[in-house]
């Protein structure tokens, strides 16, 4: 059985959805960020980064959302969550998820994690002011050039979809004008029509 460590409202939602979509035998373990449980000695022994998600497997612990999603797709080929037989298409999928991880998520993090990049309070405020613009620009590029439809990579649902959905749920909180992102918003609605997505979303709310 896999064990997924997560916290509600974080990017771990993408891995949680992927495990459910794959039909994996897993246990989801919630961390309480308000009590700083992610920095406890017990959790740091599992993931020294002190972040989520972390996926405990029979081979060891995996961290970082793109890596966990790719692992799930390859560990459960019958779920058809990635074009495993086409190296180029698989790399395209990885490129999309890497963009979410390295650019979009980082832009979002400047709203509440300014201490990672600066020490002055004035810098934190400036970071926050930039979030609607920087996150909005990332999603505008996705809307305009990267989203193929009806799913991220086209006709087939892949591990890109729960990741886009997860980061997309932060848009309103980042003060991004979602009316400029009709494809992304239609994708959010389409995701919520999937039983696995609804199940996980409700479980994380509980």
Query: What proportion of the chain, given as a percentage, has pLDDT over 70?
Result: 100
Does residue 119 surpass a pLDDT of 90?
Answer: no
pLDDT on residue 116: 78
Domain spanning 2-80+198-205, CATH architecture:
3-Layer(aba) Sandwich (3.40)
Query: 87-194: what fold?
Result: Glutathione S-transferase Yfyf (Class Pi); Chain A, domain 2 (1.20.1050)
Mean pLDDT in residue range 109-118: 79
Q: What does the chain look like in DSSP terms, one character per residue?
A: -EEEEE-TTSTHHHHHHHHHHHT--EEEEE--GGGTGGGSHHHHTT-TT--S-EEEETTEEEESHHHHHHHHHHH-GGG--S-TT-HHHHHHHHHHHHHIIIIIHHHHHTTT-GGGT---HHHHHHHHHHHHHHHHHHHHHIIIII--SSBTTBSS--THHHHHHHHHTTTGGGT--GGG-HHHHHHHHHHTTSHHHHHHHHHHH-
What is the domain partition of the chain in residue ranges? 2-80+198-205, 87-194
Per-residue pLDDT tens digits for 60-105: 999 999 999 999 999 999 999 999 999 999 999 999 999 999 999 9
Does residue 201 surpass a pLDDT of 90?
Answer: yes
């Amino acid at each position: 059985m896999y064990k997924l460590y997560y916290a509600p409202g974080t990017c771990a939602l993408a891995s949680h959805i992927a495990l459910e979509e794959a039909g994996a035998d897993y246990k989801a373990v919630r961390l309480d960020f308000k009590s700083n449980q992610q920095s406890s000695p017990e959790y740091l022994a599992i993931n020294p980064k002190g972040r989520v998600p972390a996926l405990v497997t029979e081979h060891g612990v995996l961290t970082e959302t793109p890596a966990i999603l790719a692992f799930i797709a390859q560990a459960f080929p019958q779920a058809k969550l990635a074009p495993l037989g086409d190296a180029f298409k698989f790399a395209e999928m990885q490129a999309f998820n890497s963009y979410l991880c390295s650019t979009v998520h980082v832009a979002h993090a400047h709203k509440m994690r300014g201490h990672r990049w600066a020490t002055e309070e004035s810098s934190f405020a400036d970071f926050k002011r930039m979030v609607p613009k920087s996150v909005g620009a990332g999603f505008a590029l996705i809307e305009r050039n990267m989203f193929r439809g009806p799913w991220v990579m086209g006709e087939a649902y892949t591990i890109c979809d729960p990741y886009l959905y997860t980061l997309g749920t932060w848009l309103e909180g980042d003060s991004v004008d979602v009316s400029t992102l009709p494809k992304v918003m239609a994708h959010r609605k389409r995701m919520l029509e999937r039983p696995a997505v609804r199940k996980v979303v409700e479980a994380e709310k509980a």
